[in-house]
């Protein structure tokens, strides 16, 4: 029987790292998290403030790295916002054929992880029907990944995790 760590390494070997994002929560203001989203293929992290902005930023990171591809074109109320979103497309595309090792990824992500008060691993598997599907893992879920079927479901899970983290932070203070 394989150990849990070994089976996770086998599972991750076939993973597209472009879809993996580290949500590094650096603090809370008015019970809203703020921090950065780090992705191996980005030259610098993307900042967010609040859960709603975090969800939009996750989609923007997917658009920048070009993975996973969206199955529908997003709609916007303002032409200016649409142009800004379209400008993100493929901004930091992953290098084709480059095989990333666990060590490569860890070396690049380590500074963001150590600066964070909490880290949530978000793995976006699909962007279908103007939403996103995937899974997340954090201290609240332990070693288990929890799947989400929509951005709304992800928002609820992140709100729940945020409430848990805020409670833990108050207990530490």
- Rounded CA separation 126/172 (Å): 37
Per-residue pLDDT for 95 more than 80? Answer: no
Q: Output 87 or 11, whichever has higher pLDDT.
A: 87
Instruction: Label residue 70 by pLDDT band (50, 70, 90).
Output: confident
- Rounded CA separation 96/82 (Å): 28
pTM over cut 0.95: no
Domain ranges, ordered by start, for the chain: 12-172
DSSP state of 101: P
CA dist list (Å): 13 to 7, 9, 40, 99, 102: 10, 6, 15, 10, 9
Mean pLDDT value across the chain: 81
> Among the ranges 44-53, 64-73, 162-171, which has the highest mean pLDDT value?
44-53
Residue 150: is it exposed, middle or buried by C-beta count within 10 angstroms (0-12/13-18/19+)?
Answer: middle
**Residue of 132, 138, 143, 144 whose CA lies nearest to 160:** 138
Residues paired with residue 18 on neighbouring β-strands, in sequence order = none
Give 15-60 pLDDT, tens digit per residue.
Answer: 566 788 999 999 999 889 999 999 888 888 999 999 999 999 999 9
């Amino acid at each position: 029987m394989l150990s849990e760590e070994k089976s996770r390494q086998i599972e991750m070997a076939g993973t597209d790292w472009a879809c993996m994002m580290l949500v590094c929560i650096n603090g809370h203001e008015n019970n809203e998290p703020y921090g950065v989203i780090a992705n191996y293929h980005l030259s610098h992290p993307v900042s967010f403030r609040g859960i709603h902005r975090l969800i939009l930023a996750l989609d923007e990171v997917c658009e920048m790295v070009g993975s996973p591809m969206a199955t529908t074109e997003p709609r916007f109320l303002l032409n200016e916002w649409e142009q800004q979103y379209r400008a993100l497309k493929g901004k930091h595309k992953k290098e084709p054929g480059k095989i990333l090792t666990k060590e490569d990824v860890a070396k690049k992500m380590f500074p963001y992880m150590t600066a964070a008060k909490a880290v949530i691993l978000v793995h976006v598997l699909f962007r279908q029907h103007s939403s996103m599907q995937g899974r997340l893992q954090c201290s609240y879920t332990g070693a288990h990944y929890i799947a989400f079927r929509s951005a709304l479901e992800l928002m609820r899970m992140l709100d729940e995790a945020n409430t848990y983290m805020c409670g833990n932070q108050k207990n530490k203070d």
